[in-house]
Amino acid sequence: QLSAFFAVLGSGVVVGQFEGNLQGLLPLSTEMNVLKAVNSAITLVIIACLYQVYWHSILFTRLQRHLSRGVHFDHNINFRNVVTHPAFVLEVLLCLPHVPPGVTYEFAAFSFGNLVSYRVEAVFCVINILRCYLCWWIFVQFMVSDLPMRHTVQNLVSIELIIMFFGYIYRLSEITACLLPGEKHWKCAWDEAKVWKTATGAEFIKENDLYIHNSMWFIFITM
């Protein structure tokens, strides 16, 4: 539960980074670096919580084998037992990556003939939001455990969360850093970075859509 709490808190921090960038904060401003430092601290707390979870999981597994099969019960669990656990390694690889203070980067790529620039803060915002998987089962079971027709309710809750998640991911992918304050990528001076084309070839002046409900509506009508 503690790891789930910090996963949600960390997601709020990285969303705050991205939204602050949209509102005009520079990537290396004091405010942004403070948020990045907070996210770094949260990341370490999450890893420590996961370590404790797997420590107890290994202990419980050994106890279960002792009671069911008569295997010798060894209660001594060292650091190596935990960090070599495949599931622990997988979760660390998912939860550890983040943008530390003082770091920023931009890269550009073509999409359907249009030049779009992404900042590393936006990319890792998506990655860090994935940490919320830690609270998925806690949230669902808490919300529907005492309700009638709980399986139906659970499906509805799942659909709503999926729309929110993919809506925000779509919003991140559609916003180009070329139109954000402090952009420095040299390709942002190209015409393709400002004048985009639709699939039919029609040209339009690219503007970042800052309203998240538009992205959520797009995901909803295309599901």
* pLDDT of the residue at 147: 47
Reported pTM: 0.61
In this predicted model, what pLDDT tens digit does every residue of 160-216 receive, in sequence order?
555 555 666 666 666 666 666 666 666 777 777 777 777 677 776 776 665 555 655
In this predicted model, what pLDDT tens digit does every residue of 27-39 receive, in sequence order?
888 888 999 999 9
* pLDDT of the residue at 151: 45
Q: 59: helix, coil or strand?
A: helix
* pLDDT of the residue at 212: 56
Q: What is the largest CA-CA distance in the chain?
A: 73
Which residue would you say has higher pLDDT here, 71 or 220?
71
Residue 155 has pLDDT above 50, yes or no: no
* pLDDT of the residue at 194: 73
* C-alpha closest to that of 169 among 130, 208, 111, 223: 130
Q: What is the DSSP string of 104-158?
A: --EEEEEETTEEEEEEHHHHHHHHHHGGGGGGHHHHHHHHHTTSTTHHHHHHHHH
Say which range, 35-39, 98-102, 129-133, 173-177, has the weakest mean pLDDT: 173-177
Residue 83 has pLDDT above 80, yes or no: yes
